[in-house]
A and B are shown apart, each in its own frame.
Chain A
Amino acid sequence: MAGGQVEKRVKYKSSVKDPGTPGFLRIREGMLLFVPNDPKSDSKLKVLTQNIKSQKNTKEGSNKPPWLNLTNKLGKSHIFEFENYPDMHACRDFITNALAKCEEEPNKSAVSTSAEQLSIKELELRFKLLRENRHLQRLHKQFVESKVLTEDEFWATRKKLLGKDSIRKSKQQVGLKSMMVSGIKPSTDGRTNRVTFNLTPEIIFQIFAEKPAVRQAFINYVPSKMTEKDFWTKYFRAEYLYSTKNTAVAAAEAAEDEELAVFLKPDEILARETRQKIRRVDPTLDMEADQGDDYTHLMDHGIQRDGTMDVVEPQNDQFRRSLLQDLNRHAAVVLEGRSIADVESEDTRIVAEALTRVKQVSKADGETTKDANLERLERMSRLAGMEDLQAPQNFPLAPLSIKDPRDYFESQQGNVLNVPRGAKGLKRNVHEAYGLLKESILEIRATGLSDPLIRPEVSFEVFSSLTRTISTAKNIIGKNPRESFLDRLPKSTKDEVLHHWTSIQELLKHFWSSYPITTTYLHTKVGKLKDAMSNTYSKLEAMKESVQSDLRHQVSLLVRPMQQALDAAFQHYEADLQRRTAKSGGERPNGYI
């Protein structure tokens, strides 16, 4: 199968009765090609893999020749007769794989015949999720491709992921890279003096955001006065002039070229924005207010040259711009984030216009909102107090969103270990925490979901007892409390353990949610799941055996809870099976009476 292509000598039959045309069957990932030996024959065939609905083949050992029967979606079947069974198997496996891949890829049109018609958007979303999340992709591969779960079942448990994504998009601002635009180094070809800049939309966005004058110039000049390429050439010419720090040359060039001068002059739009912003600044750090409050700044009053103040070369040169200013401006823009998240256009002009619009809106906001002012004052009065001299203030709770639970628990462990022994009220045992959790689950059952889902105190209890249990376990294991045992395992083993754990969770989730079994569909599903689980179980055993002896104990400690969980599932399965058979048997009078 190397090279992603298989080529076999076959006879092609359009029907069972057809004697067949000898030729070559060439199978590639995307399609299937039959080339007859006789070039004049019209039985040349091309089938796209995604159009194949199913394949059948004759069994080895039956007295039939090795046939492979492919049915396409239109119901037409193509039969290939191979020379021998191994050839046929190779081809069959290849097609199976290709089909599986098809399923995974966005061209779900093949599968969409199943239950619901999925919108393209949703598919894209699923696909994006798979791409972004390596673990998810692996799970998907493992279960969906091996047909333990169907595509829909797999995603059904992740509805939240699918749904939330769209909300998240609107809520969270997209950030900007913190690299400076001036950090873009041109590439040279080494021989001539030519330099080439590679501009990505992101860079352009950043330039526009940091330099409103450039943005305005773009709107004014492109494309009426110059092409986009000319525009950027000019821009980088100006940047180059800056970098040489030769203000005389810059001034001379600016005098000649009025468009170039736009880039070299101080940014007026920026200056206006600055004036606007300075009025809204926190008064406790408003140094601008100082200017002129003490009368020392009065011309030539005070001490001029005693070495406390710094000397700087006169800055009145309008073609001078300092790196420091650029840095400040850049950081401010990064802090603001990408303000036009919804505009994902490649067109520079649209980006420029959208940015200008956003700025105008925010300016209008700034003028009207008294709320911001009020809030600022409120914050100021809050900060005026000294925090530890007064009773703790109750800040509003923010929902905790833990992205990576492992990270969270590991970072928390130091805290738990160092809790002062006598600290009362904090110490609760696991059972209490469990009790609390259970209670709140019961409550949810009774009253339905509320907001917040779980009371903060309960979740705090549960989390802290969890961290405590985890860290005590770790304390016993590791000599160094900061080093987790997992980190000591070889990377492959560690990955394997983690993967097993996630896959077991996935399986168990589906398993338990299938009960009580009411339909045959669920019945077969549970059967499949059970097989997959016992499969994993044996893999766990194998892994336990394979690790080095000094780690074996620890690994088995890690594996034990997984196995226990699986065992519980198996037990339930068996019990349920027995009950069902007993039930179905119960209809008949027990025994022979």
Chain B
Amino acid sequence: MIFKIEDVTVYFPYDNIYPEQYEYMVELKRALDAKGHCLLEMPTGTGKTIALLSLITSYRLSRPDSPIKLVYCTRTVHEMEKTLGELKLLHDYQVRHLGAQAKILAIGLSSRKNLCVNTKVLAAENRDSVDAACRKRTASWVRALSTENPNVELCDYFENYEKAADNALLPPGVYTLEDLRAFGKNRGWCPYFLARHMVQFANVIVYSYQYLLDPKVAGIISKELQKESVVVFDEAHNIDNVCIEALSVSVRRVTLEGANRNLNKIRQEIDRFKATDAGRLRAEYNRLVEGLALRGDLSGSDQWLANPALPHDILKEAVPGNIRRAEHFVHVLRRLLQYLGVRLDTENVEKESPVSFVSSLNSQAGIEQKTLKFCYDRLQSLMLTLEITDTDEFLPIQTVCDFATLVGTYARGFSIIIEPYDERMPHIPDPILQLSCHDASLAIKPVFDRFQSVVITSGTLSPIDLYPRLLSFTPVVSRSFKMSMTRDCICPMVLTRGSDQLPVSTKFDMRSDPGVVRNYGKLLVEMVSIVPDGVVCFFVSYSYMDGIIATWNETGILKEIMQQKLVFIETQDVVETTLALDNYRRACDCGRGAVFFSVARGKVAEGIDFDRHYGRLVVMYGVPFQYTLSKILRARLEYLHDTFQIKEGDFLTFDALRQAAQCVGRVIRSKADYGMMIFADKRYSRHDKRSKLPGWILSHLRDAHLNLSTDMAIHIAREFLRKMAQPYDKAGTMGRKTLLTQEDLEKMAETGVQDMAY
């Protein structure tokens, strides 16, 4: 359908639209007009993505003189594929109605591992070795060498791409990773470098958060994005965590050992160069004296990770004199490693601010703050000079240099925590020195500063006023949308008691109680026998899930479950989990039905949808609190309390409930879909916990469903499923329109009624 929002003609690829989608677009347009940032919460299952995409692309079409670029950030690669899939649909529609002028170039960007088509490179096990294998074939000095020595192996795809030079362009269209690979293979061009090259021409770029938030990556990939871009963070409920992760580094024993080995190797290389090509080292020294850390004309294939510190914090100064000479730098690093080694040898947990850490480093190892700050740059320069291509081998020393740079750059918002072992496993010594960032606003600040509009959106952003504080920005629009329901297609329940009327909870003192474990099991046994197709269960942690499944296996509960449905489980092995998910979907497709056991905060909870028959019921076992004794978490809570006056308890509850909401929120995809959600813990019945759930769940949580036992829940589930199986009127009844047609929208535009009856 085609309709107007004020002066923008919106092309929307469906015949109908939900009222909240319409409103979402209206708000989004306001933010774009104001060239400001916005925060929008809209329940899952209301077509957020497509509303967003179609408004922004239509907005672009309506302003042909100042075309905006859309940078769409997703959490995961599979969400990226999903988004591109929807964009394809939209693009087809727009091209059908507008012809060639609607054509855009949209690409998904991922790492070499996902884009490479060179079979020899792909044979490498993980991403780092793919990167290294690629660099071994594409680095400028390797290619220079090959002109003399024909035995040096190069990558044909990269060579062809280089040969095509500026002619290597992608024709307009929407490219998923698969499409990029296919195109690259077809043309014989390297898809990875092609995609990276096309970033500056593309109208829509879809990639992972880190490509914009993590300075190490953003410094290379997203350097050249223009200000007139709209940046969207989808599923952004965890964005604060991503931000602080991007600036945190830790050092372990193995890191130090590896770094030492790296230094030895570097040392050997230096000696070798001294003997054979001393001029090169001298040239580097001269460059550093002139204040240039890196050669300006670095070819794309030579770049590795960028500076871990944020762009505006990087000093544009010359590298300090004491580390300009390669040997001196190696010495400094050796001293640093030694100092870190000593610090790791601690019996107690130590917490320190970066300032005091730097000063003790200065007094004990004689390394100044400024020297620390330049560690990254100096190492990069040295590695380029020494023509080191196996970047994966040199990760430990890079980690240490990143650490040094960060600790030298930031005085506030960070703390250093040294732990001799993990709290939860005191018997295993595993000392770790962590530089952890507490301030989420640091990493995202450059993004807010750089781009004209940043949209943060998710299904769960409650409480919505917390995010601007955490990320310290002022949105021009901040709204939470309700969901207009055609029928009550979600059914949240709070289960507080088992069938024997004893309370159930994953509270620390109760979670291993056999009665609770049994009651949890019985709940599932009963549910799998009445719920069709897919059932998903979330547990509070892997270890808890592991334990409970083992117990269920021993007591025969698992066997009872298996009589009804197949059982698939998320494990820590991502490959296995992916296959399990694939099988789970197939079991649901073929009607066999299955149960999926998963973990809140796990990879599955973060990005996999259990919509339609893939999830008719979600059971959330327990409240997914963080491990509150963690030192880092403590430090972070302290920081939040001091800086933003956010109470510890409030933040913990907020965090736990957003995770729980995230888990259960994945059951519906549209209003034609339906699903049940069971919160199986007595703590959910308390108001202070429950009220942190997003409004769209709360509005369906009836008072009668707040304190249920297993048998009552079964009864409610039966009734609900029966009701949902009935045919219904999609457009909504009795004046409450939940599905708008073209005419409805036109009528609305005439009367100016913006607020449709919910």
Chain A: residues with CB nearer than 8 A to chain B? 178-180, 183, 274-275, 277-278, 281-315, 322-325, 327-328, 331-332, 334-335, 377, 380-381, 383-391, 414-415, 418-420, 423
- Kindly state whether residue B23 has any CB partner on chain A within 8 Å: no
Q: Say yes or no: A305-B434 contact (C-beta < 8 A), given A274-B579, A312-B543.
A: yes
Q: Are B549 and A327 in contact (CB under 8 A)?
A: yes
Partner of B78, one of A275, A283, A300, A385: A283
Contact A295 B217 (CB under 8 A): yes
Query: Cβ of B578 and Cβ of A325 under 8 Å apart?
Result: no
CA A418 to CA B208, docked complex, whole Å:
47
Q: Is the CB of B572 within 8 A of A312?
A: yes
B581 adjacent to A285 (CB under 8 Å): yes
Q: Which residues of B contact A292 (CB under 8 A)?
A: 111, 113, 126-128, 130
Partner pick for A335 among B15, B85, B432, B587, CB 8 A cutoff: B587
Contacts of A308 in B (CB 8 A): 241, 601, 626-627
Which residues of chain A have C-beta atoms less than 8 A from B739's C-beta?
Answer: 388-389
Q: Which of these, B541, B566, B580, B586, contacts A310 with CB under 8 Å?
A: B541
Residue-wise, chain B 420-431 has the 8 Å CB interface mask toward A (1 for contact) of 001011001000
> What mask results when residues 205 to 249 of chain B are scored 1 for a CB within 8 Å of chain A, else 0?
000111000101100000000000000000000000100111011
Candidates A178, A287, A295; contact of B563 at CB < 8 Å: A178
Q: Is the CB of A299 within 8 A of B399?
A: yes
A-B contacts, 21 of them at CB < 8 A, read A179-B559, A183-B559, A282-B582, A287-B76, A289-B177, A293-B210, A294-B210, A299-B399, A307-B628, A310-B572, A323-B549, A324-B546, A325-B571, A325-B576, A328-B568, A384-B82, A384-B88, A387-B670, A389-B18, A414-B722, A414-B726
Residues on A with beta carbons closer than 8 Å to the beta carbon of B573: 325
Q: Is the CB of A293 within 8 A of B574?
A: no
Which residues of chain B are within 8 angstroms of A302 by Cβ–Cβ distance? Answer: 245-246, 248-249
Within 8 A of A (CB), among B546-577: 546, 549-550, 553, 558-559, 562-563, 566-569, 571-577
Which residue from chain A places its CB closest to the CB of B395 in the assembled complex? A299
Q: Are B594 and A387 in contact (CB under 8 A)?
A: no
- Considering only CB atoms and an 8 Å cut-off, how many residues of chain B contact the other chain? 119
Beta-carbon contact of B114 and A289 below 8 Å: yes
* B505 contacts chain A at the CB level, 8 A cutoff: no
Q: Give A415 to B723 CA distance when docked, in angstroms.
A: 9
Are A278 and B113 closer than 8 Å at their CB atoms?
A: no
CB distance from B674 to the nearest CB of A (A): 11
Q: In this assembly, does B697 line the interface, its C-beta being within 8 Å of a C-beta of chain A?
A: no
B51 CB, nearest partner CB in chain A, Å:
10
Q: Given the complex of chains A and B, what is the CA–CA distance between A461 and B730 in angstroms? A: 23
Given contact pairs A301-B248, A420-B729, A287 touches B78 in the complex (Cβ within 8 A): yes
The answer to whether A420 and B77 have CB atoms under 8 Å apart is no
Partner of B578 from the list A285, A312, A322, A377 (CB cut-off 8 Å) is A285
Are A327 and B603 CB-contacts (below 8 A) given A282-B585, A295-B305? no
- Kindly list chain A residues whose C-beta atoms are within 8 Å of the C-beta of B576: 274, 325, 328
Known: A283-B177, A324-B571. A294 touches B208 (CB 8 A): yes
Contact between A386 and B726, CB atoms less than 8 A apart? no
A420 surroundings in chain B (CB, below 8 A): 727-729
- Chain B positions within 8 Å of A, measured between CB atoms, are 13-18, 47, 50, 76-78, 81-82, 85-86, 88-89, 110-111, 113-114, 126-128, 130, 176-178, 208-210, 214, 216-217, 241, 244-246, 248-252, 255, 305, 395-396, 399, 402, 419, 422, 424-425, 428, 432, 434, 436, 541-543, 546, 549-550, 553, 558-559, 562-563, 566-569, 571-583, 585-587, 590, 592, 594, 599, 601, 603-604, 607-608, 626-633, 636, 669-673, 722, 725-730, 739
A283-B81, A307-B633 in contact; A290/B574 too (CB < 8 A)?
Answer: yes
Q: Are A306 and B249 in contact (CB under 8 A)?
A: no
Contact call B250/A293, Cβ cutoff below 8 A = no
The answer for the CA separation of A324 and B15 in the assembled complex, in Å, is 45
Q: How far is the CA of A255 from the CA of B315 in the complex (A)?
A: 58
Nearest CB on B from A240, distance (A)? 16
Chain B residue numbers with a CB within 8 Å of A331 are 566-568, 580, 583, 587, 594
CB neighbours (8 Å) of B582 from chain A are: 277, 281-282, 285
Nearest opposing residue in chain B for A182, CB measure: B553
B44 to chain A, nearest CB (A): 12
Closest 4 CB pairs of A and B: A292-B127, A307-B627, A307-B630, A389-B14
List the B side residues contacting A334 at CB < 8 Å: 566
A298–B428 touching, CB < 8 Å: no
A419 vs B576: C-alpha distance in the bound complex, in angstroms?
45
Q: Is the CB of B422 within 8 A of A305?
A: yes
Contact B422 A311 (CB under 8 A): yes
Which residues of chain B are near A385, meaning CB under 8 Å? 13-14, 89
In the complex where A292-B127, A389-B17 touch, is A327 in contact with B85 (Cβ < 8 A)? no
Determine whether the beta carbon of B566 is less than 8 Å from that of A335: yes
Given contacts A183-B559, A295-B217, A327-B549, could you give 20 more A-B pairs where the C-beta distance is less than 8 Å? A178-B566, A287-B76, A287-B608, A288-B574, A289-B177, A290-B76, A292-B113, A293-B114, A301-B402, A306-B632, A307-B633, A311-B422, A312-B543, A313-B428, A323-B550, A324-B546, A385-B14, A386-B47, A388-B16, A389-B17
The CA of A380 and the CA of B86, in the complex, are separated in Å by 10
Nearest B residue to A303 via CB reads B248
Quote the shortest CB–CB distance from B302 to chain A (angstroms): 18
Chain A residues near B214: list those with CB within 8 A. Answer: 294-296
The reply to whether A415 and B670 contact each other, CB–CB distance below 8 Å, is no
Q: Is the CB of B14 within 8 A of A328?
A: no
B428 touches A389 (CB 8 A): no
CA distance A136 to B553 in the complex (A): 40
Complex-state Cα separation, A172 to B1, whole angstroms: 44
* Min CB gap A331→B, angstroms: 4
* Max chain A C-beta neighbours (<10 A), residue from B176, B582, B671, B725: B582
| A334-B81 Cα distance, complex, nearest whole Å | 30
Measured in the bound complex, the distance between the Cα atoms of B558 and A287 in whole Å is 26
Inside 8 A of A296's CB, which chain B residues have their CB? 210, 214, 245-246
What B residues does A314 contact at CB under 8 A? 428
Report the Cα distance A180→B559, complex, angstroms: 8
- Do residues A300 and B255 form an inter-chain contact, with CB atoms below 8 A? yes
Q: Nearest residue in B to A183 (C-beta to C-beta)? A: B559
Q: Give every chain B residue within 8 A of A388 (Cβ-Cβ).
A: 16, 670-672, 730, 739
Query: What chain A residues lie within 8 Å of B585 (beta carbons)?
Result: 282, 285
Contact B82 A305 (CB under 8 A): no
CB distance from A322 to the nearest CB of B (A): 7
Contacts of B76 in A (CB 8 A): 287, 290, 293
Contacts of B210 in A (CB 8 A): 293-296
Chain B proximity of A185: nearest CB distance (Å) = 11
- By a CB distance below 8 angstroms, the chain A residues around B627 are 307-308
The docked-state distance in angstroms from the alpha carbon of A293 to that of B566 is 31
Are B111 and A278 in contact (CB-based, < 8 A)? no
Q: How far is the CA of A292 from the CA of B573 in the complex (A)?
A: 14
For A322, the chain B residues whose CB sits under 8 A away are: 546, 571
B632 and A307 contacting across the interface, CB-CB below 8 Å: yes
A332–B583 Cα distance when bound, in Å, is 6
Q: Which of A274, A287, A335 has the most CB of B within 10 A?
A: A287
Most B CB within 10 A of own CB, among A289, A307, A325, A415: A307
Q: B573 to chain A: closest CB distance in Å?
A: 8
With both beta carbons as reference points, the residue of chain A lying nearest to B252 in the complex is identified as A300
Which of A284, A291, A332 meets B127, CB within 8 Å?
A: A291
Chain A residue numbers with a CB within 8 Å of B82 are 284, 384
- Docked Cα-Cα span, A423 to B729, in Å, equals 9
A129 CB, min distance to chain B CBs, angstroms: 26
Q: In the complex, what distance in Å separates the CA atom of A307 from the CA atom of B244?
A: 14
Least distance between B124 CB and chain A CB atoms (Å): 11
Q: Are A278 and B16 in contact (CB under 8 A)?
A: no
CB <8 Å contact, A305 and B543: no
B residues within 8 A CB of A183? 559
Distance to closest chain B CB from A271 (angstroms): 9
A463 smallest CB distance to B (angstroms):
15
> Chain A residues with Cβ under 8 A from B725's Cβ?
414-415
Chain A residues within 8 Å of B395, by CB = 298-299
